Structure 1
């Protein structure tokens, strides 16, 4: 079970960086759009639904799942962590 949790944690860590990169890109593209500079708003917007939206959902779901598994393991596993 610990090996599965380690893999989930690694996937979530990569996903956090993807979400942060997407947010930084969003902020820069939004500033560019408001000033009239082409800084990638159209590309970011086209990637919102197929890439960033599922990445955010995976991050939230993975965090909740990891928390639940650790709590169940703590309660029924008896390891006291």
Structure 2
């Protein structure tokens, strides 16, 4: 059961990392476009920041912490 949970958590985190990276690349390109007065989707990115990218970053941190806690608890249980 624990192994399946860790596998699915890792899959979720990998997908989440790609979403966060995509958001960062889009943000960087959109900021450059705004600076050059080329519409590259900064306003759309900004509207998606709160409902999509902000929670994705939180899930990424939470998943990393949860993976660490599961690993620590597993090591303590197996060492006894």
> Do Structure 1 and Structure 2 share a fold, with TM-score over 0.5?
yes
CA distance in 2, matches of 1:23, 1:10: 20
Aligned length in residues: 79
2:44 maps to 1:4? no
**Correspondence for 2:36:** 35
Query: Runs (4+) of structure 1 moved beyond 3 Å?
Result: none
TM-score scaled by length of structure 2:
0.95
Question: Partners in 2 of 1:31 and 1:52 — Cα distance?
Answer: 19
Distance 1:32 1:48 in 2: 17
Query: Aligned residue for 1:19?
Result: 20
Q: Name the Cα RMSD after superposition.
A: 1.2
Shift of 1:4: 0.3
Superposed CA offset, 1:18-72 (max 9, x none): 0000000000000001111000000000000000000000000000000111111
**Are residues 1:77 and 2:59 paired?**
no
Hey, what does 1:45 align to over in structure 2? Answer: 46
